Chain A
Amino acid sequence: MLLRRETPNLWTLLTPPAVWALHFLFCYVAAAIVCARYPASLDGLRLAIGLATMAALAIIAIAGRQAHRHWGFGSDLPPHDAPTPEDQQHFLGFATLLLCALSAVAVLFGALPALIIAECR
C-alpha cells in the first residue's frame, strides 16, 4: 500500500501530484458531462466537486503525514546529500512533503471555480 510504507520511493513521491491529477480530471470530466447533457444538475455537480476536494485533501494530508515521518519529522534539515539510506529517505520525504503542499494548493485552486461559478454558460 502506497500510504503506509516504511520507506519512500518514487511512487510515494508521485502520489500527491497524482491525487491532484485525478481530482482535476474528475472536476473537468464531470463538469463537461453535466454542462453538455444535464445542465439542471449543476448544484449536484458542485456538491460532488466539494466532496471530491475533501477526499483529495484528505489523501494528500495522509501522504503528507507519511512524508513527514519519512523526513524524520524534520529532525534533519536539508540538503540531505549524504550517500546514506537515511539521507536518501529524508530527501524523498522532504520532497514529497513539498509536493503535498503544492498539490493541496493546486487542488484548492481547482475547486474554487465550482465554489464561485453557478452556471455552465
Chain B
Amino acid sequence: MSESDAARRKREEAELRAVWDIPRGWRYLSNCNNQVVGLWYTGASFFFFLFAGVLALIMRAQLAVPDGTLVSAGTYNQLYTLHGTMMMFLFAVPIFEAVAILILPQMLAARDLPFPRLSAFGFWCFLIGGVFVGGSIFFDAAPDSGWFMYPPLATDTSQTGIGADIWLLGLSFIEVASIAAAVELIVGVLKCRPPGMRINLMPLYCWYVLIVGGMILFAFPPLIAGDILFEMQRLFDWPFFDPARGGDPVLWQHLFWIFGHPEVYIIFLPSIALLAMIVPTFARRPILGYGWIVLAAVGTGFLSFGLWAHHMFTIGLPSLSLGFFSAASEAVAIPTGVQIFVFVATLLAGRVIFSIPMLFATGALAIFVFGGLTGVMVALAPFDWQAHDSYFIVAHLHYTLIGGMFFPLVAGLYYFHPFITGRMLSERLGRWSFWLMFAGFNIAFLPMHITGLRGMPRRVFTYPADHGWDGLNLVSTLGAFTMAAGIGVLLWDVLRPGKPRAPRNPWNAGTLEWVAGDPSEPWGIRSVPPITSRYPLWDQRDLVRDIDEGRFFLPGAPEGRRETLVTGVLDAEPQQVLRVPGNSFKPLIAAVFIGGSFIATTFHWWTAAVISGVLGIAAIMVWLWTGTATIPETPEKDAGMGTRLPLYASGSASVGWWAMFITMVGDGTAFLSLIFAYFYYWTIHGAFPPEGSPTPDNGLLLAGGAAAVAGWGLTLLARRANGAGRPGLLRALIAGAALLALIGGGLLILAPWQAGLDSVAHVYPATVWVILIWTALHLAVGVLMQGYCLAGSLAGRLTREHDIDLRNVVLYGHFAALTVATTLAVLVLAPLAM
C-alpha cells in the first residue's frame, strides 16, 4: 500500500527537521547554516556600528564648544581613526555580507548556499579581528593615524604605537572574511538559483550581489598587497614608503584608494539593492526598468574603479591624470542617477503604500541625492583643492554613506524583520525613529558644509572660539545626539519583548524569500519550486501551497544529508544535487588559530605566531579532508519532479572549482598590485634597478622558473593519468610535480639571497624580495595541495571518477604558473628592456 499524501508530508518534514536541526547549548556555536550564521553576522556588525557610533558621539561632545577638554588630542586621534575604521571595515562591508547570506538562500529558494562552513569561518574571522581592532581603544592602543593610515606618519613606529599594527594585521585578517563571503555569494547567485530562474528573472538584489562580489575580488586584494608592504616596513624596516631609501608614500595612497573608492560602492550598491526589493513591493508593481538597473549596477561596478585618485587631487599628480579621474568621477554619476530615476519612476507608476520601510527608502533617496550632488562638486579638481580635508568632505561623505547605505539598510531592517524573526516592528516607534534620525542627521551634517567652507579642517580635536565655527559645531552636536536618539528608538523596538507575530508575507511581496513562513524552521525552503516569473508569489498560482506540500524538487532528506540544488549559470536548468556539509566546530577552530597567528604577529611573538599559524593550516586541512569532496553512496538520486540528478560533479561543473577560480582571481589581483608597485617605483627612479645595485642572478631565476613550470606540466599529466585510470602513475607524477615545485621555489629564493640583495637598504631589493617570496609561497601552497591529492589517492578518496580535488589543484596550478611566468618577465626581462 502506498503512503498517503499526509503521511508523506509528515515524514519529509521530520526528515528535513532532523537534518537541518539547529543545535542547542554550547554546540549552538558549531552552527554552519547560513540562516543562523547570517543572523550572528548581522548582530555582530550592528554591535560594531553602535560601538563606532558611540565613538562619534564622544567626538561630537568634544567639539560642541570651542577649546573642549572632554578628551585629549591623543584620545581624539584614536576616536576618529577607530570610528572610520570600524564603520567601514566592521560595519558597512560586513553588514552587506551578513544580510546577503541571511536572505539570499531564501530569495533563491535554496536550502543553503554552497559553502556554509566557509561562511561560518568568515564570520569567526570577522568577529575575532573586529574585537581585536575595536577592543584596542580600551587599552589606549587603538590606531590613531586616520582610517586611511597615510605614511610617513603611520609607518613611523616612534610616532605611532602598536595601534597601527593592530589596524594592519587585524583588518588583513578581516579581509579574508570578505573574500570568503565574495566566493560564497558569487557561486551562490550563479549556481544555486531555483530551476527556471533564468538570468532575466533573477531578483535585482542578486544582480547587485553578483556585481559587488566581483568588485570585492578586484578591490580588496590591492589593500592586502598594500598591507603586506606596510607591515614589512613596520616590522622589518623594508623601505617601501620611505623616500630616503627609494620608497614613496604615494604608492600607499594608490593602493589604499584603489581599494578605498570601489569600497564606497561595495557598501552602497548592496543597500541600493535592498531598495530595489522594497520599492516594487510598496509600489505594488514590478520594477520599471529592470534592464536599466542591471546597466546601473554593472556600470557603477566598473566605473567605480576609475575614481580612486580623486582622493589624491591635492598631492601634485600631473594635471592630465587629474583630468582622467575627474572625468570618470563625473561619469559614474550617470549610472547612479539611472538607479534613482528607476526607483522614482516605479513609485510614480505604482500605487504607493507609505509604510515604515518606504519612509526610510524615500529618506535615503533624499539624503543620497544631496550627497551625490556635493560629490559632483568635489569630483572637480579645482573645487576639491579648496574643500579637501575640510568639514565639507566630512559632510559629503556622511551624506553619501548614510543616505546611500545606512538609511536603505534601516529600511531593509524594517522590511526583513518579520522574515527573520517572525515578528513585526512597531509602526509608531518606526515613525519616531525615522523622524528623529532624518532630522538629527540633517541637523548634524548640513551645517558641516558651511563649517568646512569656513575653513575648519577635519580631524582637529578642538578649535578656538573666534573662527565662526562654534555655533555651527554646537548645532551639529545637537543633531548627532538627536540622530542617536532615533537609533535608540530603533534598538528598543528590535529588542523589546512582546512584539506582535507577523503574518506570512506581511507586505504581500512578490519574491521568494517571503515563502518563509515560520522562521524557526531551519531548512531554507520546504521544496525547491520551478520559477517562471520575476515575482513568483504574485504570478505563479498556488506556489506557496505547493512548496509547503513538498510538490517540487528535494521535498525530503531520505538519506539524512543536507542537500541543495545546483543549476546552470544562465538557464538555471537543474544540474546536480549538492551535498552541503553540516554543523561543525572546525571552521571556528581554524579561525581561532589563524586569528591567533595574526594577533601574535602584532605583538612580535614570533614563535607563538608560527605555532598558531601551523595549527590553523592543520585545522583547515582536517576540515577539508573530513568535510569536502566526499564520495556519495550512489552516483545519482531522485531529486523530485521525476528528475534524477548526479550527486557528484568535478571540474567546471563543480561549485568548488568555481570557488577556486574566484579565489585565485582575487589572489592574482593582489599579485598584480605588487607588480604595479615594481613599475610604480620604476616611474619615479632614473633607473630601476638603480645603477650599481646588485640584481638576482638571471640563471638561477630562470632555472627556478623552469622547475616550477615543469612541475605544473607534471600536474597536468597527473590529471591525464588519473583520467586514464592509472593511479600508480598519478601518484608518481604528482610527487614529481611537488618535488619540482619545491626546487623551483627554493631557487627563486636562493637567487636574491646569493646576490646579496639587502631588503632594508633600498626599495629595489625589497621589492624583488617581496615578489619572489610571494611566488615561492604560492609554490609551497601548491605543494601542500599536491600532497593532499597524493594522500587522497592513497586513501581512495581521489579516484578516476571522483577527482574534484585534483581538478581544483590543476586550476590552482594554472594560476601559480602564471604567477611564476609574470615574476620572471618582470624581474628578468623588464630590466633588460628598460
Contact = CB atoms under 8 A, between A and B. Distances in A.
A26 to B, nearest CB: 10
Interface in B259-298: 286, 289-292, 294-295, 298
A35 B334 contact: no
A83 B532 contact: yes
A43 B304 CA distance: 29
Contacts of B292: 98
A94 B683 CA distance: 42
A29 B570 CA distance: 35
Interface string B146-161: 0000000000000000
A24 to B, nearest CB: 5
Contact of A88 (B298, B327, B571): B571
Contacts of B319: 117, 119-121
Interface of B: 196, 198-201, 286, 289-292, 294-295, 298-299, 301-303, 305-306, 318-328, 330-331, 334-335, 531-534, 569-571, 683-684
A1 interface: no
A53 B608 CA distance: 55
Interface string A14-34: 100110110010011001110
Interface string A29-65: 0011101110000000000000000000000000000
26 contacts: A13-B298, A17-B298, A21-B305, A27-B324, A31-B318, A36-B683, A78-B290, A81-B201, A83-B533, A85-B198, A87-B200, A91-B199, A92-B199, A95-B291, A99-B299, A106-B303, A109-B327, A109-B330, A113-B320, A113-B322, A113-B323, A113-B324, A117-B323, A119-B319, A119-B320, A121-B318
A21 B332 CA distance: 13
B318 A35 contact: yes
Interface string A91-106: 1101100110011011
Given A9-B570, A116-B323, A83 B201 contact: yes
A6 B534 CA distance: 25
Contact of B320 (A17, A35, A83, A94): A35
Contact of A91 (B200, B320, B334, B683): B200
A120 B320 CA distance: 6
Contacts of B196: 83
Given A28-B325, A81-B201, 18 more contacts: A17-B301, A21-B302, A21-B306, A36-B318, A37-B683, A81-B200, A81-B533, A83-B196, A83-B201, A88-B570, A98-B295, A105-B331, A106-B334, A112-B323, A113-B320, A113-B322, A117-B320, A120-B320
Interface residues of A, number: 46
B286 A79 contact: yes
Q: When A and B form their complex, which 3 residue pairs have the shortest distance between CB atoms, in order from nearest? A: A113-B323, A91-B200, A17-B302
B327 A102 contact: no
Report which residue of B305, B330, B331, B335 has the largest number of chain A beta carbons within 10 angstroms of its beta carbon: B331
Nearest to A119: B319
Given A88-B200, A91-B200, A24 B291 contact: no
A72 interface: no
A94 to B, nearest CB: 5
Contacts of B334: 102, 105-106
A109 B199 contact: no
A114 B196 CA distance: 48
A109 B683 CA distance: 26
A61 B531 CA distance: 35
A88 B325 CA distance: 35
B305 to A, nearest CB: 7
B199 A33 contact: no
Contacts of A112: 323, 327
Contacts of B570: 9-10, 88
B661 to A, nearest CB: 14
Contacts of A13: 298
A94 B324 contact: no
A92 B200 contact: yes
Contact of B569 (A10, A94, A103): A10
B458 to A, nearest CB: 28
B171 to A, nearest CB: 26
A117 B382 CA distance: 14
Nearest to B335: A102
A70 B291 CA distance: 14
Contact of B318 (A14, A116, A120): A120
Nearest to A114: B320
Nearest to A102: B299
A95 B289 CA distance: 10
Contacts of A24: 306, 324, 328
B331 A106 contact: yes
A75 to B, nearest CB: 15
Nearest to A113: B323
B205 to A, nearest CB: 16
Contact of B302 (A18, A31, A80, A88): A18
A102 B318 contact: no
A14 B569 CA distance: 15
A20 B290 contact: no
Nearest to A37: B683
Contacts of A10: 199, 569-570
A113 B200 contact: no
A13 B330 CA distance: 23
Nearest to A9: B570
Contacts of A95: 291, 294-295, 298
B531 A83 contact: yes
Given A9-B570, A83-B198, A78 B289 contact: yes
Contact of A17 (B290, B299, B534): B299
